[in-house]
Amino acid sequence: MSASHDSLRTLDYSVIQQCMHCGFCLPTCPTYDATHLERNSPRGRIALMRAIADGRMDLTRVFADEMYFCLGCLACMTACPAGVEYSQLFETSRAMAEQSAVLSNPTRDWTRKLLLRGLFTRPRMLRLIGRLLYVYQTTGLQDLFRRLAFTKLLPTRIQQLEPQTPTIQAKFSHQVIAPVERPRTGKIRYRVGLLTGCVQDLVFSNINRDTADVLLANGCEVHTPPVQFCCGSLHGHNGESETSRALARRNLDLFDVEGLDAIITNAAGCGSHLKTYDRLLAEEKRYADRAAIWSRKCKDISEFLVQICFRAPTAAPANLPIDKLTYHEACHLCHGQKITAQPRRILRSIPGVKITELAESTWCCGSAGIYNIIQPAMSQQLLSRKLGHIAKTGAAIVATANPGCHLQIENGAKSKGENIQVFHPVSLLAMAYRAE
């Protein structure tokens, strides 16, 4: 196999050597907890990576399958006393697996080319597909398709995924947020850029609008380019490292990085990846300096609000049971970005909110990017575990800060007939401001 800077064999060896094989990661790893197999643990996976780096083992389909059985939830990084950069090892291993083509087959290759290298690199095409899906859903065609059992004509795996089809918003982010918005009253305290995402743009444009409103209410001038690119996390986590770097460059070209005080993201998985642009583009002379500034200024919305001492609302959101609320911590917010206190601080600032802490709040819900698509059995096992803990809190509202978690929990509760509403913390804060 040809060497590249994505290869375990050319990666700085000290990154692999960091693992002391102490086992602190084992009880935090959802896949190891489920199987109790060493190879399904971070320690076991790193041992496999090291064997390949040392030339003691060939890269096989078994290794590649193991890398894709990993959730990439990064709980092991929180537990690790040695500071192992598992996220870098994980992404490098998947990239190496893709370069080796050991998982290659016509269907998989075509799907990855169509989606990862095609649709999710073209925002206008993605919006067109979203608009068609919106028409399909709102005209009753989706209900008719289901009632007539046409779903049975679909391939088995598509049949299983069809009920999880997200509801597309009537308007996308560029239709509800102007390119530049300023506070109606008061002094402009900060100039910030707002990232609207790809799936977030189609499915949760309302959350993007809420984020803009909260920033405006706290004295921010908000800059939101109308056509934005996927952050590249979907690609970086699935072995498409060159595409991930290309998307990083495109996003850097969209924003006045030097002139902004912060670049705001409201999606945990995106934010964790966006903050690594400095590493992704470190070897590119044209982008390295700006990427370093980007990574320093990129902030999760809850992180930024607490940093600027956001204004606590004086009213509660209307007609919501906010006294029965629990908080699920998205993996890439708590483990990837080490942000845990800030969302709770935002929630507790809202009059009437009572948070019942969720057991295993930092345990993965099984969404994990596209994990619920490629590993449905393990994903459902983790979702059932999460829903069980939510049920024990008696909560009517689950707050979470990642679109994947949002959809996973919402769809899971719906399938079980449970009356649970899911909100982003910033949406609840926006609703409280509006109630004033």
Of all residues in the chain, the percent with pLDDT exceeding 70 is: 98
Distance, in Å, from the CA atom of 271 to the CA atom of 265, rounded to the nearest integer, reads 6
Angle at 356 between CA 354 and CA 358, to 5 degrees: 150
Under the banding of pLDDT at 50, 70 and 90, the label for residue 156 is confident
User: What are 210-245's pLDDT values in tens digits?
Assistant: 999 999 999 999 999 999 999 999 999 999 999 999
Under the banding of pLDDT at 50, 70 and 90, the label for residue 147 is confident
Displacement of CA 113 from its chain's centroid (Å):
21
Distance, in Å, from the CA atom of 106 to the CA atom of 90, rounded to the nearest integer, reads 25
Distance, in Å, from the CA atom of 7 to the CA atom of 10, rounded to the nearest integer, reads 5
CA 196 vs CA 21, 39, 231, 364: distances in Å:
40, 37, 10, 24
User: What are 34-56's pLDDT values in tens digits?
Assistant: 999 999 999 999 999 999 988 89
| DSSP-derived secondary structure letter, 150 | G
- Averaged pLDDT for residues 68-96: 95
Query: What value does the mean pLDDT of the chain take?
Result: 94
Residues 6+ apart with CB under 8 A from 136: 142
Distance, in Å, from the CA atom of 276 to the CA atom of 240, rounded to the nearest integer, reads 15
In this predicted structure, the answer to whether residue 256 has a pLDDT above a threshold of 50 is yes
What pLDDT is stored for residue 158 in this prediction?
A: 78
* Six-digit token string for 279: 């590493």
What pLDDT is stored for residue 2 in this prediction?
A: 38
Distance, in Å, from the CA atom of 81 to the CA atom of 67, rounded to the nearest integer, reads 22
* Six-digit token string for 68: 């894709």
Under the banding of pLDDT at 50, 70 and 90, the label for residue 4 is very low
What pLDDT is stored for residue 220 in this prediction?
A: 98
What pLDDT is stored for residue 14 in this prediction?
A: 74
Q: What is the fold, at CATH topology level, of the domain defined by 13-104?
A: Fumarate Reductase Iron-sulfur Protein; Chain B, domain 2 (1.10.1060)
User: What are 294-341's pLDDT values in tens digits?
Assistant: 999 999 999 999 999 999 999 999 999 999 999 999 999 999 999 999
Distance, in Å, from the CA atom of 359 to the CA atom of 356, rounded to the nearest integer, reads 9
- Averaged pLDDT for residues 123-137: 96
Q: Which CATH class is domain 325-435?
A: alpha beta
Distance, in Å, from the CA atom of 301 to the CA atom of 330, rounded to the nearest integer, reads 14
- For the entire predicted model, the pTM comes to 0.93
| DSSP-derived secondary structure letter, 166 | P
Angle at 313 between CA 173 and CA 305, to 5 degrees: 60
In this predicted structure, the answer to whether residue 377 has a pLDDT above a threshold of 50 is yes
> Which has the minimum average pLDDT: 82-91, 143-152, 178-187?
143-152
Which of 192, 220, 213 shows the shortest CA–CA distance to 297?
A: 192
Displacement of CA 219 from its chain's centroid (Å):
27
- Pick the more confident residue, 263 or 143: 263
Distance, in Å, from the CA atom of 224 to the CA atom of 273, rounded to the nearest integer, reads 19
* Six-digit token string for 379: 């994903």
Q: Could you state, in order of their start, the residue ranges of all structural domains in the chain?
A: 13-104, 106-311, 325-435
What pLDDT is stored for residue 6 in this prediction?
A: 53
In this predicted structure, the answer to whether residue 182 has a pLDDT above a threshold of 90 is yes
Under the banding of pLDDT at 50, 70 and 90, the label for residue 433 is very high
Distance, in Å, from the CA atom of 15 to the CA atom of 82, rounded to the nearest integer, reads 11
Under the banding of pLDDT at 50, 70 and 90, the label for residue 1 is very low
Instruction: Supply the DSSP string of 4-59, one letter for each residue.
Output: -TTSTTTS-HHHHHT-----TTGGG-HHHHHH--GGGSHHHHHHHHHHHHTTSS--
In this predicted structure, the answer to whether residue 66 has a pLDDT above a threshold of 50 is yes
HSE, side-chain direction, 13 A CA sphere, residue 269: 26
